[in-house]
Amino acid sequence: MVSAHEFRGDDAGYLSWLVAHSAGYVINIGKNYNATGARMHHASCSTLRDQSGAQTDAYVKVCADHEADLEAWAIDHVGREIRPCGSCRAQPHPAHATPVMGTAPSVAGPLPAGRFLVPPPVPGSSVVEAWADDYIHYKPRPEWQTLLCNEIKTRCAHLNPSAGEVLHAAFYGVKPKRMDIENLLLYNIDSFMLAGRNGIRFEHGIAVPPSPDGEVYQVGYRYALAPRSGPFTDWQQGRTLVSFDWTNLGAFRRDKIPAQVWLALARRRGGEPGPALTAGTSFAVKVEIRPPHGKSPGLSGELVKGIIDGVVSAFQAHTETSTSGEVAARLAKVLPAYPAEIENLLLERRWAVLGPVARLVYLRDGAVQWNPGDDWCDAGELLAAEPKPADKGWAITGQIIQLSRRRSALATNLDA
């Protein structure tokens, strides 16, 4: 649920919010939601201090405590990201972002549990690093993890990629079972729409890099700007398991992304599939996404997760026939396909180059939940492509590639 509040024709409410939420964020946008002149500000921005005239009439104010909530609001209501203010860059004051091990900004005393370290930013640097005793869980999570999460988001929001750069994210340490690497790095944090606007590359590193304070931590995070055509750092690409040319997805419903991607790719499968990947072998999913003409792809952790889940699912098979009929019937309510076609595509094993899954999709309440077997998806990328004038819907192209550890990464691990 997005925690954003819109003030429309309510100057008093808006000005009161500014006073009570000085660390929050504000989108200033025309009342017709025209994003052309809209800007995102930090609540302390000097350009918001002019309180002469109407504040929430011709331009309404959308406010939230967290930048990620306004990013989600913008995608839901406008269909694109909102440019940051040229004055404040929608960032809190730098003094807020200098934590040290065992303490947190604006918090007196030790952290309630766990340790983390986010070194002070280096002027001109395009790298954000962090170390911790545990990975950042999805909400709800311990207070110290929320503090760490906020620090990473604040630092990454300062990364400003050029046209040829993407965000390269790496997680170091033991990956928990049934935890997707894109969740660890992106979805659980999810505030990368600016730093990752051209594309997001991610991977599971191996040994936790040494920390600046000399302490030993269980996990590490690294977010850096890198060339769009750059490689994975710790992985060597092997054979291509499957590839697919530009595939139309139609109108995008972000809550149905895995299902839309799965159906579009499953319908296109053809020819002679290659040998299936041996169980326990690492692989990467590399995708380009093209939005409709005139729209921004709005890359985010949620979008990366949905696309990756859909692609992986398209090359696996659902084997539990006792539920496949009901699963297909429920999917038919949200997909442009009949239940019989959906069930046949789910059960088809010929193209399951990533292996079978007992319940690729399982029944949950009155709907379904996708459950691809992607434990060994250790790297991936989602890159933004330029839309074509004739594009009215979304489209993707990509490939799934077998991986092996780079020798340098293995040597580093053995020395650690």
Per-residue pLDDT tens for 275-332?
A: 999 988 999 999 999 998 888 787 888 889 999 999 999 999 999 999 999 999 999 9
Distances (CA, A) of 251 to 107, 291, 312: 45, 10, 21
pLDDT of residue 92: 58
Angle, vertex CA 199, rays to CA 87 and CA 288, nearest 5: 145
The residue with greater pLDDT, 234 or 190, is 234
Mean pLDDT, rounded, for 214-224: 94
Helix/strand/coil percentages in the chain, nearest 5: 25, 25, 50
Least confident of 1-10, 231-240, 335-344: 1-10
pLDDT of residue 166: 96
Q: How high does pLDDT run on average in the chain?
A: 86
Mean pLDDT, rounded, for 94-117: 47
pLDDT of residue 345: 97
pLDDT at 207 over 50: yes
pLDDT of residue 411: 46
pTM of the model: 0.73
- Distance, in Å, from the CA atom of 159 to the CA atom of 148, rounded to the nearest integer, reads 17
Mean pLDDT, rounded, for 386-400: 90
Mean pLDDT, rounded, for 106-125: 67
Mean pLDDT, rounded, for 407-415: 50
Mean pLDDT, rounded, for 120-149: 90
pLDDT of residue 286: 98
pLDDT of residue 409: 53
Percent of the residues in the chain that have a pLDDT greater than 90, as a whole number: 54
The strands making up 199-204's β-sheet, listed across from edge to edge, are 116-117, 127-132, 219-227, 165-172, 199-204, 377-384, 283-290, 394-405, 235-250
Mean pLDDT, rounded, for 88-113: 44
Total Cβ atoms within 10 A of residue 399: 15
Least confident of 1-10, 128-137, 205-214: 1-10
Least confident of 90-99, 152-161, 339-348: 90-99
Q: Which residue reads 């979304």 in tokens?
A: 394
Cβ(379)–Cβ(202) below 8 Å: yes
Domains in the chain: boundaries? 5-77, 100-316+372-416
